[in-house]
Amino acid sequence: MSDKVYISGLEGSAIAGVDHWQKPVPHPVLVDVAFSTDFSRASDSDNLQYSLNYAVISDKISSFLKKSHQRNFQSLGGVAEAVFDLLLTERAICTSVDLKVLAPKLDIRAPVSYTFSGPQSGTYHIEGLRALTLIGVFTFERLNKQFVLLDIDMSVPSTHLNVPRVSESVHDYLEQANFKTVEALVKRTSQWILQNFAAVESVSVRVTKPNAIVYTEGVGVSCLCTRAEFAGEEPISISGASKASEAFDLPVESKTVFSGSHTAYIAFGSNEGNQLGHIRLALEILNGHERISVNSTSSLYVSKPMYYTNQPDFYNGVLKITVHDMTPHELLLVLKDIEYEKLARVKDFENGPRSIDLDIILFDDVTVNSPDLVVPHKSMLDRTFVLQPLCELLNPDFLHPVTAEPIHNHLKKLLNTPTDPSVQESSELDIVIPGTSGRYLRFNVNGKLPTAIMGIFNATPDLFSDGGDKYHLEPSQIVAAVLKMKEQGADVIDVGGVSTRPGSVEPLVEEELRRVIPVVQAIRQERLLDDILISVDTYRAQVADQAVAAGADIINDISMGTFDDELIDVVAKHGCGYIMSHTRGTPATMSKLTEYNAGPTSLIEYSIDPGSGLLPPLMDVNVIHGVCRELALQIQAAMDRGVKKWQIILDPGVGFAKDLEQNLEILRHAKRFKQYAQIDLDKNLYLSFHGMGLLIGTSRKKFLGTLTGQAVADQRVIATAATVVASIEQSADMVRVHDVEEVKQAVQTGDAIYRGIYPRS
């Protein structure tokens, strides 16, 4: 039968056992009854005698409850079954009768009810029980309890159950308990009820977090459990858990065996003294430990201080290390020894200045919660200066061990969350590429610093556009020329002693040294040029070594370390900046090596924007990923030999082993070089270009002459300026140019248009 007759919300009162105050007193009850019947004859004849008269039945129930006002029904189920028995006549002519008795005030925490259809067991309901509990994985959730709402259905084979006692027990348990997930909360709440209330046969718990997602009424989960499911489990104990604590408290899975190799990620920071020196020394000590190997580093960032804001900016980054037969606590002891013993850190107060700070961020997928160590680090998800460098070392699918969400997703959310200025002036980071003697390049990850200009100083007789102009100058002439370039807007002077134009012939190393070293020495002897960084355009280790010793800050290598195998070792030894410029072959052969194909299946390649996530691949533009793959191969080789990622600046090598269309594609999509990442499945290695500076060099190059019909190289200034503005639009951090004065105007214009950097009245 599909016909039903309803009575809803029939008011009455009854003594349903004891209430929350353990007193057997009458309480308001609401009765709902649904009769499954067939009233088709009544419908056809429009005659009530062929149906159930709900007015008569309502009066029957009301009268019964009034007459029984002093009767103790022992429970809400007792009330329901008494009413059910009262309806014997009606039940005889119905296929089923569904009965619900609701007592809105029997328990002070939540309305309770009982549903019964007979003769099977009935079900008790607790609706909207509100409890304050510790739940969640984020730092703010671990330090502050939050409300949850529970709907609980309990199947009982017998009639009676002291529901207020169940409600009180669950409420008290949750107030003292501690969960990472709602999934654990619903299961343990079910277990708690079943282990403490023998009358309950099965229980369904639905948990809602009303404040988890702002634009919803709530989110949550539910589960149904039977007593048999917990037969082999230890009973839940909450002894001592009721004590209030302001400490970070995270449930963890215990792991006591840490033999073999383990991967850990260490965040470092420094804002006192020689920051870079402190960081380098800490790495050296760490890597020298017999059971620790430093695998890779992130880029080096500058961040505003957090929490205590009246202190200098920090240098920050992350290391990936391998430890052997060490527990997280043993690693912690090593880090503290480096901080306080080896580098003599003095901690005057929490979150204050420090010479070095080394924190364990991750240790495999282990969770640790002790007074002196919490892993994953409890504050990592709140800090861009941790997440941005960390995501350089973790692939996009790497899950946070507690939240089970990709760490890249956490970074994306953080980057799109406004910064609280009372906590940190700004969460934006700058990239630092160290030179020598305290000089450095500084770029902003969001392009909010002016584009740097590298001015070309060619100390050669045979360059394609200005050979001989600055060849064999006297020291005073060198200084005058460089002072002029500085005045025109140069931030870096790139000294070249070898022509690398396609088809050129290299001089002997001794000749290159005679050309380059006097220029570097002359610049460094002039006090007015102390702040100018010197780059030396060479691919020879001997020249690079002597140039840095003479005061150069950066090695600008067009060969990616492929022409002279020892050059990488020189860069690693000095810790100087290193421009890795893409090329193929030699200057004599590169113009024929312009075919770029799709990568091997062993590589998974990504384009990732930290603030918006994975980007769609470029279609039919093989040159971008082709160049990235070849750069990645050499970057990894350099890092394997001791070069730190923060030393490297990317240069896609416009004009080197690229044809006209490929040069244009690089300029159209140059931003992709900073967004590139790959997983090498064969080597199980992840490499990201995030955090690396990008240099674009188009000045006076042949392809510009092809485009404009300008055969004379030094007449391509306007074309060069156009490519410089295009490079700024594509997030280039530095441009390499011959015509500093003219291009400076293009840079100022491009920075104003694309970066919002210009004088304001």
| Per-residue pLDDT tens digits for 661-687 | 999 999 999 999 999 999 999 999 999
What integer is the mean pLDDT of 715-741?
Answer: 98
| % residues pLDDT > 70 (the chain) | 95
CA angle 668, 670, 674 (to 5 degrees): 150
- Whether pLDDT at 263 is above 90: yes
With bands split at pLDDT 50, 70 and 90, how would you rate the model's confidence at 48?
A: low
State the pLDDT at residue 620.
78
- pLDDT digit string, tens, across residues 106-148: 889 999 999 998 766 799 999 999 999 888 777 667 667 889 9
Which amino acid type is present at position 566? E
**Annotation marks residue 348 as catalytic:** no
DSSP for 582-644 reads ---S-TTTGGG-----PPPTTEEEEEEETTTEEPPPPTT-HHHHHHHHHHHHHHHHHHHTT--
**Which pLDDT score, from 0 to 100, does residue 243 have?**
41
Beta carbons of 25 and 15 less than 8 angstroms apart? yes
Confidence class of residue 286 from pLDDT cuts 50, 70 and 90? very high
Q: What is the percent of the chain with per-residue pLDDT over 90, rounded to a whole number?
A: 74
Confidence of residue 244 (pLDDT cuts 50, 70, 90): very low
Q: What CATH number does the domain located at 261-428 have?
A: 3.30.70.560
CATH 3.20.20.20 placement within the chain? 448-755
Q: Stretch 74-99: mean pLDDT, rounded?
A: 91
pLDDT in tens, 52-76: 888 999 999 999 999 998 899 999 9
Among this protein's residues, is 46 annotated catalytic? Answer: no
Query: What pLDDT was estimated at residue 178?
Result: 85
Task: Give the separation between CA 91 and CA 601, rounded to whole angstroms.
Answer: 71
For residues 550 and 519, give the distance between their C-alpha atoms in angstroms, rounded to a whole number. Answer: 10
Catalytic residue among 153, 357, 382, 545: 357
Q: What is the CATH number of domain 1-120?
A: 3.30.1130.10
Q: Is the pLDDT of residue 29 over 60?
A: yes
pLDDT value at 593 more than 60: yes
The pLDDT of residue 665: 97
Is the domain defined by 448-755 classed in CATH 3.20.20.20?
A: yes
Inter-residue contact 376 to 386 (CB < 8 Å): no
- Architecture per CATH, domain 130-236+245-251, reads as 2-Layer Sandwich (3.30)
pLDDT value for 241: 40
Sheet of 613-614: strand order equals 613-614, 603-609, 676-680, 685-688
Is there a catalytic annotation at residue 357? yes
Annotated catalytic residue, options 19, 107, 354, 755: 354
Tell me what the mean pLDDT of segment 404-411 comes to: 94
Average pLDDT over residues 401-424: 92
Q: Which of 142, 345, 540, 700 is catalytic?
A: 345
Instruction: Give dist(CA 598, CA 618) in Å, integer.
Output: 12
pLDDT tens column, 84-93? 999 999 988 8
Q: Read out DSSP for 425-457?
A: S----EEEEE-STT-EEEEETTS-SPPEEEEEE
Q: What is the pLDDT of residue 1?
A: 54
Residue 661 CA to residue 598 CA, distance in Å, equals 17
The per-residue pLDDT for 245 is 45
Tracing tokens 């700024």 back to the chain, one arrives at 728
Mean pLDDT for all residues in the chain: 91
**Structure confidence at residue 747 as a pLDDT band (50, 70, 90):** very high
Q: Where along the chain do the CATH 3.30.1130.10 domains lie?
A: 1-120, 130-236+245-251
Per-residue pLDDT reduced to its tens digit, 153-180: 999 988 889 999 999 999 999 988 888 8
> Burial letters for 426-436: b for 16+ Cβ neighbours within 10 Å, e otherwise?
ebbbbbbbbbb
Catalytic residue among 359, 466, 537, 553: 359
The total of other beta-carbon atoms located within 10 Å of residue 400's CB is: 18
- Whether 325 sits among the annotated catalytic residues: the reply is no
* Distance, CA of 493 to CA of 530 (rounded, Å): 12
Residues of the chain with CATH 3.30.70.560: 261-428
Spatial neighbors of 699 by CB under 8 A, at least 6 apart, are: 456, 716, 720, 735, 736, 737, 738, 739, 743
